[in-house]
Structure 1
Amino acid sequence: MKKAEIHTKYGVMKIDFFEKDAPGTVKNFIDLASHGYYDGLTFHRVIPNFVVQGGCPNGIGNGGPGYTIKCELDGENQYHDRGVLSMAHAGRNTGGSQFFICHNRDNTKHLDRNHTVFGKVVEGLDIIDQIKQGDKMDKVVIID
């Protein structure tokens, strides 16, 4: 099972992917990360007690990789709990590179089966709470 590390100035968040539930989304994230796409990008949207969002090449939430991917909403792990990675989009099947990490379950229930959950932070959960708008992802590393 492939895993990832998101390196920040606060430390490393270790990610387990939900390949069974969101194979296309996981593949897309791995492909982008393997080519250095996320390295140096900012967390352009931080809403306390909700999410931290990154993956926009423009740094303001309006960009992507130049293509879109389909939502994968039918898997077992489509619940937005603390630490969950999920695809951001501007409407069904419009995701690309932007993703968010959930702060908690209380304020994210409405996202279930509307945004594709594709992984979860399994180490470094405290880092989510430290990230501020404009902080960078130093690098995203894929672990085989």
Structure 2
Amino acid sequence: MARIKPQALLQQSKKKKAPSKISATTFMFCGLIVVLALFFLYSTYTHRSIRSSIQRSNTDSELELQDDHGLMDLRKSDIPGYAIFTTSKGPITVELFKDSSPEIVDKFIELCQKEHFKGMHFLRVIKHYVIQAGNTDNLGNTEDWTVKGKHHGQLHASLKHEAFMVGTSKGKRDDKGFDLFITTAPIPDLSEKLVVFGRVVKGEDVVQEIEEVDTDEHYQPKSQIGIIGVTLKQKV
């Protein structure tokens, strides 16, 4: 058997232990894979962050919108929608026009809370025209109302200014000057005299009973008819 020389064994051992060389192409390919992986992870993270931010923003906007609507609905629902006048002839229920006449309704409610209308009398009754409750110092021109009442039958009716509408006179409406008018027939020229802020929904028969009382030459009832009190309600 032939003996192997030590130099030959040493060369064979070096060949086995020597690491294989990595080509430049393989190195670049691996580097590209790493870069793509990092880019993918970054894109995924960014996309999720943006989507979460948008969702939070939309949620906050919806909550804010709901809160705003909720406050508006709450404020609106806090305002009474009806007023019940207890009179010596019976109750009259009035629906308040909170949307079309908000300032007048607010003033009316304020005066109700101050019991402004408690004990107020109906001081003028013009048949087939209007009945008025108020102060003796705020009767206005009786002759003017009398002429309008006499000529009312010759005027054309307006659906907007129908019977059983509730209003107050135009102009100054302080604590003393806020009077009440209830129409008993359609009045086409109503807007010239009154600011309408409600309508009678119950108690039309009571209004008609007041309308039929005996009056003097100044259209003032011969017997007193008064408002005992006013009750404000959300619904009836």
TM-score by length of 2: 0.48
Structure-2 separation of matches of 1:61 and 1:94: 11
Aligned residue for 1:140?
A: 230
Asked if the contact 1:79/1:113 (under 8 Å) is kept, the reply is no
Aligned residue for 2:81?
A: 2
Matched residue type, 2:181: F
Consecutive unaligned residues of structure 2, counting only runs of 5 or more, are: 1-79, 141-158, 214-220
Q: Given the alignment of the two structures, is residue 39 of structure 1 paired with residue 126 of structure 2, yes or no?
A: no
- Number of positions where the alignment pairs a residue of Structure 1 with one of Structure 2: 123
Structure-1 separation of matches of 2:129 and 2:229: 23
Asked if the contact 1:38/1:137 (under 8 Å) is kept, the reply is yes
Secondary structure of 2:161's match? Answer: coil
Q: Given the alignment of the two structures, is residue 94 of structure 1 paired with residue 172 of structure 2, yes or no?
A: yes
TM-score by length of 1: 0.76
1:34 CA displacement? 1.4
Aligned residue for 1:74?
A: none
Considering only CA atoms, is the larger Rg found in Structure 1 or Structure 2?
A: 2
Structure-2 separation of matches of 1:47 and 1:126: 16
CA distance 1:62–1:51, shift in 2 (3 Å): closer
Consecutive unaligned residues of structure 1, counting only runs of 5 or more, are: 64-77
Report percent identity of matched pairs.
Answer: 26
The structure, 1 or 2, with the larger RCO (C-alpha pairs under 8 Å, 6+ apart) is 1
Secondary structure of 2:103's match? Answer: helix
Cα RMSD after superposing both structures? 2.1
Which of 108, 116, 120 is 1:29 aligned to? 108
CA distance 1:110–1:62, shift in 2 (3 Å): closer
Structure-2 separation of matches of 1:143 and 1:81: 24
Secondary structure of 2:123's match? Answer: strand
Q: String of CA shifts for 1:63-121, please: whole Å, max 9, x gaps.
A: 9xxxxxxxxxxxxxx932111001124xxx3344112000011xx11113652110000
Which structure dedicates a bigger proportion of its chain to strand?
1
Aligned residue for 1:73?
A: none
Aligned residue for 1:61?
A: 138
Matched residue type, 1:139: G
**Structure 1 runs (4+) greater than 3 angstroms displaced:** none
Which structure dedicates a bigger proportion of its chain to helix?
2
